[in-house]
């Protein structure tokens, strides 16, 4: 959806959505990808303990425990109401300076509102994001939105500080809830304007295209049924085309066989005609010879030429 190029290093990414849309799964995927590249990732969790996150992410095929053991991933878990926002900011700076990460995750920032007013939360996040940008740290934030409000805004009003904003939403159709993802904005890069469905599988997140034919958007089983119907129609059309090709091939073979039969019959007739012509020539030659012999007999002349030997023999017999 970002032309396969990913995010700019040092940029700030925000993923917002209602409960259960997959925000933590996205954050864990981002952290896992960073560790796979050999980069250090610092993960601040405000809702779940590290053991819960590791356990839950293993159900979708993401093994975060191995990165913790290798020292590439570090969790920091604390309740936002444990202390004030300034103390949270001090904790952020201290842990960042100690671990020196290339990737920083906060899941979710919306919980910070329990420790102060919206203006105070925005001030703290602004200072935190500025600090991370100066250190060229890629930042991944999640934000919980609610069904009662608009989805395309943040409760902390920090959208102007965000470089890339991803929105997760539930798509309800035919009694099903399916997850959809689209990009609200991504500064400095081309990005898709399409909503895409994503699945949380035992091998991670699987991003798939949704069905948008016939002026409707289908996801889940409705998309599967529609695609199955289209595949059946395509298969039927392909089989019909193959049937016509086989019928055409049979006609061609029959035509070629008929041509071969006619050619063989023609060759036989040609041979008979040639034989008849040769016999006719021989008959004509015999008729000519018979006429010559008959003409010689009528004139009293032998029908064969005389030689000296035969003439002397006739003279001796006459004496």
pLDDT digits (tens, 9 = 90+) for 2-20: 888 889 999 999 999 988 8
The verdict on residue 120 lying in a domain is yes
The verdict on residue 280 lying in a domain is no
For residues 252 and 199, give the distance between their C-alpha atoms in angstroms, rounded to a whole number.
51
The verdict on residue 165 lying in a domain is yes
pLDDT confidence band for 317 (50 / 70 / 90): low
Would you state the pLDDT for residue 177? Answer: 83
For residues 163 and 149, give the distance between their C-alpha atoms in angstroms, rounded to a whole number.
23
Would you state the pLDDT for residue 292? Answer: 83
The verdict on residue 94 lying in a domain is yes
Q: What's the domain range around 144? A: 12-210
The verdict on residue 229 lying in a domain is no
The verdict on residue 2 lying in a domain is no
pLDDT confidence band for 111 (50 / 70 / 90): confident
Would you state the pLDDT for residue 140? Answer: 96
Would you state the pLDDT for residue 3? Answer: 83
Report, as an integer, the average pLDDT of 22-27: 94
pLDDT of residue 27 exceeding 90: yes
pLDDT of residue 311 exceeding 70: no
Would you state the pLDDT for residue 120? Answer: 87
Instruction: Tally Cβ neighbours within 10 Å of residue 27.
Output: 24
Question: What is the percent of the chain where pLDDT is above 70?
Answer: 85
CB 179 within 8 Å of CB 192: no
For residues 117 and 119, give the distance between their C-alpha atoms in angstroms, rounded to a whole number.
5
> 105: closest CA among 149, 155, 57, 152?
57
- Give me the chain's average pLDDT, please: 84
Report, as an integer, the average pLDDT of 53-65: 95
Range of lowest pLDDT (51-65, 108-122, 147-161): 147-161
Range of lowest pLDDT (58-67, 134-143, 181-190): 181-190
Question: What is the percent of the chain where pLDDT is above 90?
Answer: 37
The verdict on residue 257 lying in a domain is no
Would you state the pLDDT for residue 147? Answer: 60
pLDDT of residue 148 exceeding 60: no
Helix axes 50-58, 23-36, angle to 10 degrees: 90
Report, as an integer, the average pLDDT of 246-259: 90
pLDDT confidence band for 173 (50 / 70 / 90): confident
The verdict on residue 262 lying in a domain is no
Highest mean pLDDT among 86-100, 175-189, 273-287, 294-308: 86-100
pLDDT confidence band for 90 (50 / 70 / 90): very high
pLDDT of residue 307 exceeding 70: no
For residues 49 and 101, give the distance between their C-alpha atoms in angstroms, rounded to a whole number.
20
> 27: closest CA among 62, 78, 76, 67?
62
For residues 7 and 1, give the distance between their C-alpha atoms in angstroms, rounded to a whole number.
11
Would you state the pLDDT for residue 152? Answer: 54
CATH code (residue 80): 3.40.50.300
pLDDT of residue 109 exceeding 60: yes
DSSP 3-state assignment of 42?
Answer: strand
Cis peptide before 316 (omega within 30 of 0): no
Reported as a single tens digit per residue, the pLDDT across 28-53 is 999 999 999 999 999 999 889 999 99
Number of domains observed in the structure of the chain: 1
């Amino acid at each position: 959806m970002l032309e396969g190029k990913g995010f700019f290093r040092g940029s700030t990414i925000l993923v917002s959505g209602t409960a259960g849309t997959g925000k933590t799964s996205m954050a864990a995927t981002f952290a896992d990808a960073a560790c796979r590249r050999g980069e250090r990732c610092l993960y601040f969790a405000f809702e779940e303990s590290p053991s819960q996150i590791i356990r839950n992410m293993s159900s979708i095929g993401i093994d975060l425990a191995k990165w913790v053991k290798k020292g590439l991933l570090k969790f920091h878990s604390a309740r936002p109401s444990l202390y004030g926002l300034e103390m949270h900011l001090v904790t952020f700076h201290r842990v960042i300076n100690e671990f020196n990460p290339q990737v920083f995750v906060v899941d979710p920032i919306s919980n910070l509102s329990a420790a102060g007013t919206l203006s105070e939360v925005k001030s703290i996040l602004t200072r935190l994001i500025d600090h991370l940008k100066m250190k060229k740290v890629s930042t991944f934030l999640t934000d919980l939105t609610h069904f009662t409000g608009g989805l395309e805004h943040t409760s902390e009003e920090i959208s102007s500080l965000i470089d890339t904003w991803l929105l997760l939403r539930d798509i309800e159709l035919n009694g099903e809830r399916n997850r959809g993802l689209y990009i609200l904005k991504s500064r400095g890069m081309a990005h898709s304007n399409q909503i895409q469905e994503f699945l949380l599988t035992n091998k991670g997140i699987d991003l798939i295209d949704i069905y948008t034919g016939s002026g409707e958007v289908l996801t889940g089983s409705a998309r599967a049924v529609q695609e199955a119907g289209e595949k059946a129609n395509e298969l039927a059309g392909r089989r019909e085309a193959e049937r016509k090709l086989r019928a055409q091939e049979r006609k061609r073979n029959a035509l070629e066989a008929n041509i071969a039969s006619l050619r063989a019959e023609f060759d036989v007739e040609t041979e008979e005609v040639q034989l008849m012509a040769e016999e006719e020539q021989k008959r004509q030659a015999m008729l000519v010879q018979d006429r010559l012999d008959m003409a010689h007999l009528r004139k009293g002349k032998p029908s064969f030429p005389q030689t000296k030997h035969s003439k002397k023999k006739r003279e001796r017999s006459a004496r």
